[in-house]
Structure 1
Amino acid sequence: MANGNFLSFNSSLPQLHITSEDIEFDEETLQHWRDEGFDVHYIPMTGGGKPYRDLIMSLGDKLPFGGSYGIIAYGEAAALCLDIASKPLPHCAALICYYPSTIPKPNAMYPTQLNLVVHVTESQDLKAKFPVHVYAGVEPGFAEHDLDEFNAVAAGLAWTRSLAAVRKGFKREADLETVRGMHAAYTLVRKDADATIALMATDPHVNYVPTMTGGVGKRALQHFYDEFFCLGIPPDFRTRLISRTVGVDRVVDEMVISFTHTIEMPWILPAVPPTGKAVEVGFVSIVAIRGGKLVHEHIYWDQASVLMQIGALDPKQVPKALSSKGCKRLPVAGRDAARKLLDMNKIPSNSMIPDW
């Protein structure tokens, strides 16, 4: 862990100072910022007061020419940093405040060059005229991995917002598409489980949502890719990219996949023997990346469409509980759903809506 000697830094990397009232801080969070390419230093508040304020206000004093720095503060330290930053902090490119104990100047107008992000919980009931992000159902501490209050969903959302502001402040961009492309090549083309795992962060997970296949952690994912995924890709498996959205720390791909069900495919059709049927279905993949490594992949598709195309689901076979109420067909589309995704005009809209 970095210590309080914040002035002995590596000037070749952008400087990021993390501060809270604790003597030591969540090492996992510190490492995540290091992984993103920042020179990270932890500053304990140690009682606050004038010495702490002077310390925060002097962070830009020893910077090289044209240099800048950022601050990420938590709790009481976040409140103090908000108060300090209401007046210009020379060379401070970003200030990220997690659940400040108070918002000392809710009507403050912060310098326009300061990329300010404030995360508060709904239970704190803190309001300000400047934008704040409010997180419901969590308590202060939700973004610190070593606390009982840690909440992975809220922490992940806050991380993305914080990373966006810090990158903007330092004018840094990340090449996420290359990592995404390597992952696809290793899994679908090379079918190389070892290379796939080597591309992952220390704490990865993969979730193929409709079938709940994938795994949590490198050991489980190594087994999944080795024994089930890479062996479950038919020879004619194809992907067609429709759109790609590259965000701060993730890539969202909208695509159509096609294959002939000639082999067992445990990741999409677990426990279903090969049917020889052709399948074409829309897919959405969300890949999250941290420090050039894949953190997780979430994959969504219309499983009812897949089952219909292999002959495992007949939309005309309506359960009695629904047919007795007048339902004549289940609202399930087969290959037409994917074809409409490729060409909106190829398949009519609203054909499932009676009397359209």
Structure 2
Amino acid sequence: MPVYADITKPPAPLPQPKPQSLGEGITLLPPLSRLGRGPGLIILTEESEKHLQIIEGVPSALIKWAEEGYAVVEIQGKAFSRGAKEVIGVALEALSNCDKLEPKNSKVGVVAYDPKIWSQAARALLGSPNVVGGVVYASATDEDKLETCGVPVLRHVAGSSAITKKEDGVTTYSYANGKSFRMATPFDKDFDYWAESLSHTRNLTFLKPLMGGPYFDLERIWDEHTYYEFADRSVEHTMSTMVDQPYVNHVPTLTGGIGRGPLTEFYRGHFIFQNSVDTELELISRTMGIDRVVDEFIYKFTHDATVDWL
């Protein structure tokens, strides 16, 4: 069994958000990964005062992308009153000067959560050689009006049941149950947790090859997590392998927690110290995804205590 951190010592602290205002409606947030460095990303969003919040386990788009390991500049719609070219220039310059940007000549991706803001920005992006790919969320009624910007584009279209299309550098996914382009905008009434989750995985699959990452050794992180759970049995170190406000659900009994406080309490009172001392995991198969590990394993233990989560 590999040895990771010494559980007799406190785990490394979680990265804390350190947003930098670049002007009205423009915010730079360095990566919130344990590595703390990564490529640059620009996200285009509607105006919101909740852009640095996590509510009921759901992070804002700005927080979520920083947790994915990107140095992120968020541009809210109101910032475009200065002109798209100027605003995009401010964002690109801030990324190039960010000491957490890696590599320093990082390729940049763009994610637009509003089709109108995308159309405002698209022409300005045409003259930006570092921009290598774009993602845009739209409603079915917006699809024919979307601008192109000379780089590969991924479109997520709400309210459409059309089949997936891939043509002329544009890939389009449809979400028949999506109420509007805001299906992926946290805290909005049209937010759809599952549509956002699926589209986010597709975003990572699309952007990472274009941008050169960031790539993480998910197998090692998962093995470290389960080592702290079942071998060393440390609540604090188990939690240190997770994002700031994680979500865990053990399907057989629907137990776990949403958020650091409830999940820590669950691990301490109902999981880590409730498992048999002879617990063993025998791995049968492992499937790797861009943002997930899917294990099939045999869970071996002597049932000599109450196991709350089973």
| TM-score clears 0.5 | yes
- SS at 1:248's partner residue? coil
CA–CA distance in 2 between the matches of 1:53 and 1:169? 23
Query: C-alpha offsets along residues 89-115 of structure 1, whole Å, 9 cap, x if unaligned?
Result: 522122111226723567x9875xx34
Q: 1:73 aligns with which of 92, 103, 112?
A: 112
| Contact 1:73/1:81 (8 A) holds in 2 | no
CA–CA distance in 2 between the matches of 1:189 and 1:8? 39
Q: Cα gap change, 1:227/1:249 in structure 2, threshold over 3 Å: closer, same or farther?
A: same
Q: Is 1:139 aligned to residue 162 of structure 2? A: no
- SS at 2:272's partner residue? helix
Aligned to 1:291: none
Query: C-alpha offsets along residues 32-78 of structure 1, whole Å, 9 cap, x if unaligned?
Result: 22223322212233486893256548966895984422211122112
- SS at 2:187's partner residue? coil
Q: Is 1:19 aligned to residue 29 of structure 2? A: no
Aligned to 1:231: 273
CA–CA distance in 2 between the matches of 1:31 and 1:258? 38
| Contact 1:93/1:169 (8 A) holds in 2 | yes
Aligned to 2:64: 32
Query: C-alpha offsets along residues 1-39 of structure 1, whole Å, 9 cap, x if unaligned?
Result: 5545579998x7522112234376733211222223322
When the two structures are superposed, what TM-score results if normalisation uses the length of structure 2? 0.70
Aligned to 1:160: 201
Q: Is 1:194 aligned to residue 236 of structure 2? A: yes
| Matching residue's letter, 1:92 | V
CA–CA distance in 2 between the matches of 1:24 and 1:139? 23
Q: 1:116 aligns with which of 141, 148, 153?
A: 153
Aligned to 2:211: 170
69-78 or 92-101: which moved more? Answer: 92-101
Counting aligned pairs with the same residue, the percent is 26
- SS at 1:99's partner residue? strand
CA–CA distance in 1 between the matches of 2:142 and 2:237? 47
Map 1:278-289 to 2 at 5 A.
none
| Contact 1:143/1:150 (8 A) holds in 2 | yes
- SS at 2:142's partner residue? coil
Query: C-alpha offsets along residues 126-147 of structure 1, whole Å, 9 cap, x if unaligned?
Result: 9975421112322221212231
CA–CA distance in 1 between the matches of 2:177 and 2:90? 37
CA–CA distance in 2 between the matches of 1:25 and 1:72? 18
Report how far residue 162 of structure 1 moved.
Answer: 1.4
| Contact 2:159/2:174 (8 A) holds in 1 | yes
When the two structures are superposed, what TM-score results if normalisation uses the length of structure 1? 0.62
Aligned to 2:76: 44
| Matching residue's letter, 2:307 | M
Q: 1:98 aligns with which of 124, 134, 137?
A: 137
Map 1:342-353 to 2 at 5 A.
none
- SS at 1:201's partner residue? coil
Report how far residue 241 of structure 1 moved.
Answer: 1.0
- SS at 1:252's partner residue? strand
CA–CA distance in 2 between the matches of 1:8 and 1:196? 30
Number of equivalences: 263
| Contact 2:67/2:243 (8 A) holds in 1 | no
Q: Cα gap change, 1:67/1:143 in structure 2, threshold over 3 Å: closer, same or farther?
A: same
Instruction: Answer with 1 or 2: which has the greater Rg.
Output: 1
93-102 or 149-158: which moved more? Answer: 93-102
CA–CA distance in 2 between the matches of 1:226 and 1:66? 44
Q: Cα gap change, 1:24/1:99 in structure 2, threshold over 3 Å: closer, same or farther?
A: farther
133-142 or 182-191: which moved more? Answer: 133-142
CA–CA distance in 2 between the matches of 1:77 and 1:104? 15
| Contact 1:60/1:68 (8 A) holds in 2 | no
Q: Cα gap change, 1:84/1:134 in structure 2, threshold over 3 Å: closer, same or farther?
A: farther
* Structure 2 unaligned residues grouped into runs of 5+: 1-18, 31-36, 53-59, 98-103
Q: Cα gap change, 1:201/1:48 in structure 2, threshold over 3 Å: closer, same or farther?
A: closer
- SS at 2:184's partner residue? coil
Report how far residue 187 of structure 1 moved.
Answer: 0.8
| Matching residue's letter, 1:249 | D
CA–CA distance in 2 between the matches of 1:67 and 1:235? 48
Considering Cα pairs closer than 8 Å and 6+ residues apart, tell me whether 1 or 2 has the greater RCO: 2
